[in-house]
Structure 1
Amino acid sequence: MLVAYAPALVAAAASFAVPGVVEGARAQLLSAALAVHFLKRILEVLFVHRYSGKMELATAATISASYLLGTVNMIYALRLSRDLPDPAIDLLYPGVFVFTVGIAGNVYHHYLLSRLRADSRGGDKGYKIPKGGLFELVTCPHYLFEIMVFFGFAMISQTVFALAFASGTAAYLTGRSCATRRWYDSKFEEFPANIKALVPYIF
């Protein structure tokens, strides 16, 4: 997973060193948010996540290329839009807020998942239903907050590419959330029917 995340972090951080790329608050906050996001992921790989299996190098390289190209293109799309008129509605600081809530919620729920796996290292090797936080309401709150992170990027940059990337991420994670919800339902007879897949009380 370090292979998957490190190039995107390097690209976001390096954008500050390339003349003419990061000019103005919007560009600075976008590059900073991208760097924080991928630094957070790397720190989680090192100190939080507990992996149950291994990933093939080809798969890691594909994921890495996706994140790298997404990061570079978000920064570049904003650079290309520099001379265009400012958006009629400025979503820069609301975007920073959405990003911050998303990153904090994602970290917290990843921590809860890591504790669940740590508890399973003893005699009990069976699967468990996650508890705490929004796990009481949805099966994948970490995905919900991850979606918020990417829409935070879109709101900060206000470019079509960032919105498209966020929408694609949301569609992918929604599908994974539904699959996870069905998996829990098949594994646990007592799985609560009121727990949704992704959005509390709705979906």
Structure 2
Amino acid sequence: MLVCYVPALVAVLASFGVPGAVDGARAQLLSAALAVHFLKRVLEVLFVHRYSGSMPLATALLISSSYLFIGVAMIYVQHLSYNLPEPAVNLLYPGLLVFAVGITGNFYHHYLLSRLRDGGGGDDKGYKIPRGGLFELVACPHYLFEIIGFFGLAMMSQTVYALTVAFGSAVYLACRSSATRRWYASKFEEFPARVKALVPYVW
């Protein structure tokens, strides 16, 4: 999983050393938020996540390329928009707050997932129904908060590209959440019907 995230982290950090790449407060805060996003993922790989299987190298390289492109392209598009008029409504700092909520909630629920394999109580492979936090209401709150984080980045950037990334991520993670909820429901007879896929009380 380090192969997936480290290249994007290195590229985002390198942008601070490229003259003109992060001119202005918006570009600097966006690049810093992206660096925090990928650094968090690297640290989670090292210290939080517990993996039950392996990933083919080709898949890891594909994912790595996607994250690398997203990070670099978001910074580059922000660079291209530097001399354009500022938006009528500045969402930079509200976006920073939304991003902080997203990344914090995502980390907390990843931490709860990492504790599932401590002790017994699951099936023969150690699978359990997640408990605590928003797991009481949705199957994948970590995906919900990741979506919130991406929309926070889009608010900070206020570019069409960043908004497209946020919407694309939301659709992808919504599909994964739906599949995860169906898996839990098929695996555990006691899986609560009240638990939705992604959005509490809604879906």
Indicate the TM-score class for this superposition, using the shorter chain for normalisation. Answer: over 0.9
Distance in 2 separating the partners of 1:190 and 1:107: 26
1:104 maps to 104
Please state how far the C-alpha of 1:128 moved relative to its aligned partner: 1.0
Secondary structure (helix, strand or coil) at the match of 1:55 reads: coil
Please state how far the C-alpha of 1:120 moved relative to its aligned partner: 4.7
Secondary structure (helix, strand or coil) at the match of 1:105 reads: helix
1:185 aligns with 2:185: yes
Q: How does 1:58-77 map to 2 (within 5 A)?
A: 58-77=58-77
Please state how far the C-alpha of 1:121 moved relative to its aligned partner: 10
| Greater displacement, 123-132 / 151-160 | 123-132
1:118 maps to 118
Structure 2 gaps, min length 5: none
Superimposed CA distance per residue, residues 115-146 of structure 1 (whole angstroms, 9 cap, x where no aligned partner): 00233599964421000000000000000001
Superimposed CA distance per residue, residues 68-98 of structure 1 (whole angstroms, 9 cap, x where no aligned partner): 0000000000111111111111110010001
1:154 aligns with 2:127: no
1:27 maps to 27
Distance in 1 separating the partners of 2:133 and 2:74: 31
Please state how far the C-alpha of 1:61 moved relative to its aligned partner: 0.2
2:18 maps to 18
Distance in 1 separating the partners of 2:154 and 2:173: 17
Residues 122 and 128 in structure 2, CA contact (< 8 A), matched pair in contact too? no
1:38 maps to 38
Distance in 2 separating the partners of 1:92 and 1:200: 27
Change (3 A) 1:122 1:91: closer
Change (3 A) 1:168 1:128: same
Amino acid in structure 1 at the alignment position of 2:181: R
TM value normalised by structure 2? 0.97
Q: How does 1:189-200 map to 2 (within 5 A)?
A: 189-200=189-200
Distance in 1 separating the partners of 2:69 and 2:126: 38
1:163 maps to 163
Secondary structure (helix, strand or coil) at the match of 2:118 reads: helix
Identity of aligned residues (%): 73
Secondary structure (helix, strand or coil) at the match of 2:6 reads: helix
2:5 maps to 5
Change (3 A) 1:12 1:184: same
Amino acid in structure 1 at the alignment position of 2:129: I
Amino acid in structure 1 at the alignment position of 2:58: A
Distance in 2 separating the partners of 1:123 and 1:67: 34
Alignment length (residue pairs): 203
Residues 27 and 78 in structure 2, CA contact (< 8 A), matched pair in contact too? yes
Residues 12 and 71 in structure 2, CA contact (< 8 A), matched pair in contact too? yes
Amino acid in structure 2 at the alignment position of 1:110: H
TM value normalised by structure 1? 0.97
Over the aligned positions, Cα root-mean-square deviation in angstroms equals: 1.5
Please state how far the C-alpha of 1:44 moved relative to its aligned partner: 0.3
